[in-house]
Amino acid sequence: MIKFYNTLTKRKEEFSPIEEKIVKLYTCGPTVYDLAHIGNFRAYVFEDLLYRYLEFRGYKVIRVMNITDVDDKTINGAKSKGISLREYTDRYIKIFIEDMERLRLKKPDYMPRATEHINEMVEIIKKLLKKGYAYYKDGSIYFSISKFPSYGKLSGIDLSSIKVGARVDKDEYEKEDVKDFVLWKKVKEEEGVWWDTEIGRGRPGWHIECSAMSMKYLGESFDIHTGGVDNIFPHHENEIAQSEAATGKKFVNYWLHCAHLLVNGEKMSKSKGNFYTLRDLLNKGYNPIAIRYLLLSTHYRDPLNFTENSLKQAENTVKNYNEFYRGLNICGYEKYNPEIKKEIEKAKEGFIEYLDDDLNISPALSSIFSLIKKVNIFFSKGEFGRDNVKEVREFIEDIDKVLCIIEKKEESLSEDILNLIKEREKARKEKDYKKADEIRNVLKEKGIMLEDTPYGTRWKKN
């Protein structure tokens, strides 16, 4: 039974999707005005774990991640470069997708762009106007939070001091600024970006796009909505208000939010300037899989302080893990060791039991590392059977559907090389150590390292 901590109810709840075995999942995606930083990627890595784990547990997951390609920041960016909004945002979308691939983030089923869903947004705003939840002021349209009695239910904000009719035009604002928020912004000629629609010439505010795109692809009510904790207010609070006011139905059943990636105890963010992009770290020579592992291996609701030292540790862990995996290419002892099967079962149970518990990744990983330790002991005692090699390998590959940290290097060797390894083993048996060493050196030059074990020689590629 899977449990998630639901921000809406403020407790851990048993997960039960609307349709059996199908999960509809929405993620607030990037605003494509610049490179994403690894703080943003903490959120996307957490969502990737969620996505992959639900699939691992047998659910069919339909996932949407929107792309915010129209807002103050993208418009300003395009203007400052003197290019069209489309050309500007295309550039950053391309980079974002490359970064996702480097971090092995599974591509969502849909990645809709805000600018391609203006009609859907207009339709919701029309409904809100008709039902009296929205009103015009100076050509822009606002959502009246006093008309929606449960406003604040997600974030728990205090509404007592709110002045009815006070408005905020900015997309991002703080809790002290809780006011009627903008759904549609009247055209500003100097921005050069607008749409002519039934509700006027202008462009959408930020929040409405996520209601429009989530409901278009997932329906008026769906299972899980995710983001970083900074999205809870105002963005997700506003999404709930405008969606539920428009449809009269519950918008989302489970709201999951990840804690921030910090630098010296402060949120990593563009505005503070304390950020690393993925490229910054790759240029310094770090392995993207180690970055994935670092972001993945702390529970998503615990803040994570980023340091290069912790990244180096993650690199070591990933390296050792992969060495263990690649070492599973020996032929193994004839006899089958049933203890190893039992250890695999135990590790699998641990992995599932902990991840079922609100994606409790650290003990889930510990159960895998403890299996590796035990296998290494069996191995050094010469109690590692031929079929055990296969079953351990299969298990590691199975959980990699979730973790995605195995580095797929070319794993097979050519006939010629295998023959050289055999020839060397023969030489060793015949105590012709000179020849054995020569062959070892030839292989070393080809990047193939040999290790002699009680079961014969195992190889790994450098």
d(C-alpha 248, C-alpha 215), whole Å? 13
Assess 231 for contact with ligand AMP (CB under 6 A): yes
Closer residue to Zn ion (CB): 46 or 324:
46
E-assigned strands of 229-360? 252-258, 261-263, 266-267, 304-305
Q: Are strands 252-258 and 222-228 parallel, antiparallel or unpaired?
A: parallel
Per-residue contact string for residues 42-71; x = within reach of ligand AMP by CB under 6 A: xx----------------------------
Per-residue contact string for residues 18-47; x = within reach of ligand AMP by CB under 6 A: ----------x-xx-------xx-xx----
393: exposed, middle or buried (Cβ count in 10 Å: 0-12, 13-18, 19+): middle
Instruction: Tell me which of Zn ion, ligand AMP, none is bound by residue 236, counting a contact when its beta carbon lies within the kind-specific cut-off of 5 to 8 angstroms.
Output: none
Helix (H, G, I), strand (E, B) or coil at 236: helix
Assess 277 for contact with ligand AMP (CB under 6 A): no
- For residue 114, the minimal CB distance to Zn ion (Å) is 10
Helix (H, G, I), strand (E, B) or coil at 355: helix
Instruction: Tell me which of Zn ion, ligand AMP, none is bound by residue 238, counting a contact when its beta carbon lies within the kind-specific cut-off of 5 to 8 angstroms.
Output: none
Number of residues that bind ligand AMP (CB under 6 A): 17
- For residue 7, the minimal CB distance to ligand AMP (Å) is 12
- For residue 99, the minimal CB distance to ligand AMP (Å) is 12
Closer residue to ligand AMP (CB): 258 or 330:
258
Q: Which of 142, 123, 139 is nearest to 207 (CA)?
A: 142
d(C-alpha 198, C-alpha 210), whole Å? 20
Q: Which of 310, 308, 233, 229 is nearest to 267 (CA)?
A: 229
Instruction: Tell me which of Zn ion, ligand AMP, none is bound by residue 210, counting a contact when its beta carbon lies within the kind-specific cut-off of 5 to 8 angstroms.
Output: Zn ion
Radius of gyration of the chain (CA): 27
Q: Helix, strand, coil: what percent of the chain each, to 5? A: 50, 20, 35
Residues found near Zn ion in the complex (CB under 5 A): 28, 210
d(C-alpha 193, C-alpha 195), whole Å? 7
- For residue 46, the minimal CB distance to ligand AMP (Å) is 8
d(C-alpha 224, C-alpha 253), whole Å? 6
- For residue 37, the minimal CB distance to ligand AMP (Å) is 7
- For residue 221, the minimal CB distance to ligand AMP (Å) is 22
Instruction: Tell me which of ligand AMP, Zn ion, none is bound by residue 100, counting a contact when its beta carbon lies within the kind-specific cut-off of 5 to 8 angstroms.
Output: none
Instruction: Tell me which of ligand AMP, Zn ion, none is bound by residue 155, counting a contact when its beta carbon lies within the kind-specific cut-off of 5 to 8 angstroms.
Output: none
- Which of 90, 230, 357, 387 touches ligand AMP (CB under 6 A)? 230
Which pair of structure tokens corresponds to residue 4?
A: 């998630």
Q: What is the per-residue burial (b if ≥16 Cβ within 10 Å, else e) of 18-38? A: eeeeebbbbbbbbbbbebbbb
CB 229 within 8 A of CB 258: yes
Assess 205 for contact with ligand AMP (CB under 6 A): no
Taking CB under 6 A as the binding criterion, the range among 153-161, 214-222, 243-251, 266-274 that sits at the site for ligand AMP is 266-274
Q: Which residues bind ligand AMP (CB under 6 A)?
A: 28, 30-31, 39-40, 42-43, 227-228, 230-231, 258, 260-261, 267-269
